[in-house]
Amino acid sequence: MTRRRSWVSPYRFSFKTAGQELNDAWFNCFQFGFDFFMTYWLRAGNFVDFGDVYLSFIFNLLSNSISIKINIEKMIKSFDTHDTIQFYKSLGSITRATVDFESY
C-alpha cells in the first residue's frame, strides 16, 4: 500500500476491508447465538429433573477440579504480573469447566 502513487487507494482498501467485516458481523453474531441456543437446548433435553442437573454439576466439578485449580493459580500469577490476557483466558477456562457439563 505504501508504494502506490495515489493516497486514495490505501484508504479505500482499508475502509472496504473494515466495511466488509462490519457487514458480515450481523450474520456471524446471529449464527453464534443460534448455535449456542440449539446446543444448550439439546443438552437440556438430556436431563430428567433438577436432581439430575445437580448431580451432573457436582460430578463435573469433581472431574475438572485439577484443571480448575491450575487455572486459578494461573489467574493469581497473572494478576500479580498484570497479564490481562492470561487472566481472562484462565477465567474463561474456569467458567467453561464449571458451566459446560452434560448428562450422558
Distance CA 78, CA 104 (A): 35
The residue segments making up the domain with residue 36 are 7-45
Q: Is residue 77 part of a domain?
A: yes
Residue 31 sits in the same domain as residue 54:
no
In a domain, 68, yes or no: yes
How many residues in the chain? Answer: 104
Query: In terms of C-beta distances under 8 Å and separation of at least 24 residues, what long-range contacts does 45-52 make, across chains too?
Result: 46/102, 46/103, 46/104, 47/103, 48/103, 52/103
- What is the per-residue pLDDT for 104? 47
Domain assignment present for 1: no
Q: Are residues 37 and 15 in the same domain?
A: yes
Q: Do 90 and 78 contact (CB within 8 A), yes or no?
A: yes
Q: Is the pTM of the predicted complex or chain greater than 0.75?
A: no
Digit-coded pLDDT (tens) for 11-52: 667 777 777 888 888 899 999 999 989 988 888 888 888 888
User: Into how many domains does the chain fold?
Assistant: 2
In a domain, 2, yes or no: no
Residues 6+ apart with CB under 8 A from 39: none
Q: Confidence class of residue 1 from pLDDT cuts 50, 70 and 90?
A: very low
> Does residue 57 share a domain with residue 40?
no
Proportion of the chain above pLDDT 90, given as a percent:
42
